[in-house]
Structure formats: structure tokens, C-alpha cells
Structure 1
């Protein structure tokens, strides 16, 4: 199975996102984070992610006679490269993008269903900016942004810290100019 098809499956993408900023998670902890996913479905997709090297079984714990696996998401194991996307048709790219957006919408829907939400206090926002940059300026901008995000993503869970989703979408707003 191609890596892109493993990662960009609606349920598997949610499982991967559950690991972001979490270190290791047990199957029970994953089930708590994804309560709408049936247990058998969760186990099946965890198996697919582990078989394909996206998740790693760190250890197994014996819990009341059963074996509970503890999984981790190695750095960049779920990141898709140009090589992973090479050869994808425009229709496949649209499907991948729709899966990504649906996962974001699902997280936002879950947030809005919490008993108490305060979009301002919780730092919720969505906005589009148009940036006028040369290819070199864009590359430098993305590298700098990547460094800032990597520093924040490296923060371990701690009292007072909340897990937050941060998504990035970049695309040109018009076609390439002739040189």
C-alpha cells in the first residue's frame, strides 16, 4: 500500500493527529481521544499504520490478562514527501486534500461540541493571507516558519499546556509567470 494511501485515510489520519504532541499512547488512550471510532475499527487501522511503519509499538503491557500496546509516532513517519505524491492524478490530490480538510473540520466540530468554548480565550482562529514572495523568499519564509513550529511542537505535555491543532495550507493563487 502506498504511504499516501495509508496516511490520508480519514480514520488513520485522525489516529496520526491524536499522536501529535503526545509522545506515546496506549490503545485505551487512543480510544478515549477517538470515542466515535468503534474499537474493532480502531484496532484494524492501528495495525495498518504499524505494518506500514507509520506507528511503532514501543512496548506491550499486560493489563488484566490482555496485552495492551503502547504506540509512538516517529518524527516525520507520517509526513508525505514529493516522492510520496509523485504520479498522483489531480483527482487523487483533490481526494487527499478533501481528507485533510475533513479531518480538520472534524476536530473543529469536536471542539465546538465541548460543554464550554470561548473562541477568543482558546485562541481559535482561521484566516487567509496573500503573500507576494519570490520563490527564494517563499522558501526562506517556509524554512523560518518550520523552525518556529518545530520548536513549539517539541514541547512535551505539561501542566498548563493544552494540545492545539496548527494546520498549514499553502498554494499559489494564480499560475506561474513566464521568466
Structure 2
């Protein structure tokens, strides 16, 4: 389904709709399952956003299950996915990307806030963490890194819920970093530079 980046942004870049699309990614979910996964979203609001996503072609109804005389819908992402295609993404302006990235970061902050609101939070036991690192790579090395990352993550995207699996959110950001001042490229790292847990002051 072809869609302009303006229309895609209007439809997809909403906090609740972002969460719905992420929940459905890689699986099929009933309305009841989505209600359980998003307990803080009022049901009427959730139903309204589901209807909007289906009408826009960002979400498909792939099955109807009869439950107590009513038909319960089962949702999945369409074959084309729910993201911008390559042409639309390439045509996006800096202002568009600023809007997309703001929605991405806002959604990530919201997810982390919900995680911190749990009764028990243990980053090590939960396999959670966050850090920033700088990789010095040629274009060829960057290509090899991307191919290796895709080879590692790609097979995991087909995992279905169950069998002891827990949903784990992996968010990636890759962007050019500022070049170091001239003459410092080969300077030795300080103690803080070698510690990935140290943040910027």
C-alpha cells in the first residue's frame, strides 16, 4: 500500500499506535491480548486506534475467532510492514526525520518508564541496559558490521511467543559522530574513555 510520508507520520507517530504496532510485530494478537498487553490504555481508546490502523492499511485483520457468540479479531502487520518504504524515507526532509526520531525517543522513554514502574527492577537479572559507544569504521567495515548484525538478529525475528520466551525490546540508533579535533585521532584513551558506563559530563 503506497502512502506518503506525511500521511504515514500522521497515522503511525502516535504513542498508543506505536505501542500497538510494536506489540503485533512478528506475531498475531487478538483484541483481548492487546487489551492485556496495554492495560493502561482504555479499551474504547484502544479499539479506536485499532480501527484507524486497519483502515489505513498499517494493520491487517487476519482471522476472526468466535468467542461466546461474538467474533474476536486477530491482528497482524501486513506483508509490506508498517514502516515507510525506501523511497519515502529517502525523500524525508530533516524536519521529517526530527519528527520521526522524536516519536521514536518518546516511545522509548515511555517504555523505560513503564519498566521502572514495576514492583521489582533489576537490570542485570532482567537483561536490561543502555550505553553509548563510538565505533571507528571505514565504509566497508560499516557494511560488514550491518551485515553481521542483520545475520544475528534476523533469525530471531521469527520467534513466536511461548516456550519460555519473554518479549525484549531492542532499539538501535546509528549515526555519524563528530570528528575529533585535528591531531587527536591517535591520542591514547583516558581511563574514563575506556569505561562505557561513564556518561558525558
Q: TM-score under structure 1 normalisation?
A: 0.86
Q: Per the alignment, in what secondary structure is the counterpart of residue 125 of structure 1?
A: coil
Q: Per the alignment, in what secondary structure is the counterpart of residue 29 of structure 2?
A: strand
Q: 1:136 to 1:51 in 2, by over 3 A?
A: farther
Distance (Å, rounded) in 2 between the aligned partners of 1:69 and 1:174: 49
Give the count of matched residue pairs.
Answer: 174
1:24 is aligned, of 15, 28, 50, to: 28
Is 1:15 the counterpart of 2:20? The answer is: yes
Contact persistence 2:123–2:129 (CA under 8 A): yes
Distance (Å, rounded) in 2 between the aligned partners of 1:160 and 1:63: 27
Name the Cα RMSD after superposition.
2.0
- Structure number with the bigger relative contact order (C-alpha 8 A, sep ≥ 6) is 1
Runs of 4+ displaced beyond 4 Å: none
Q: TM-score under structure 2 normalisation?
A: 0.77
Contact persistence 1:3–1:84 (CA under 8 A): no
1:56 is aligned, of 53, 60, 70, to: 60
1:93 is aligned, of 97, 108, 117, to: 97
Distance (Å, rounded) in 2 between the aligned partners of 1:78 and 1:128: 28
* Structure 2 gap ranges (5+): 180-201
The alpha carbon displacement at 1:157 in A equals 1.8
Tell which structure's C-alpha radius of gyration is larger.
2
- 1:104-119 equivalences in 2 (<5 Å): 104-119=108-123
* Structure 1 gap ranges (5+): none
Is 1:47 the counterpart of 2:65? The answer is: no
